[in-house]
Amino acid sequence: MRLPTPTTTSLLALALTALPALAAEQVTTEYTLTNDCKRKTQRGDSIQVHYKGTLASDGSKFDASYDRGQPLSFTVGKGMVIKGWDEGLLDMCIGDKRKLTIPPAFGYGDRAMGAAIPAGSTLIFETELMGIQGVDKDEL
Residues with a catalytic annotation lie at 51, 62-63, 82, 108, 125
| CA–CA dist 55, 49 (Å, integer) | 19
Classify residue 117 by its DSSP letter. B
Nearest C-alpha neighbor of 84 from the set 133, 19, 29: 29
Query: CA-CA distance, 50 to 41, in Å (whole number)?
Result: 15
For residue 74, which of 29, 122, 32, 131 has the smallest C-alpha distance? Answer: 131
Q: How far apart are CA 20 and CA 12, in angstroms?
A: 14
Residue 89 near residue 99, CB atoms below 8 Å: no
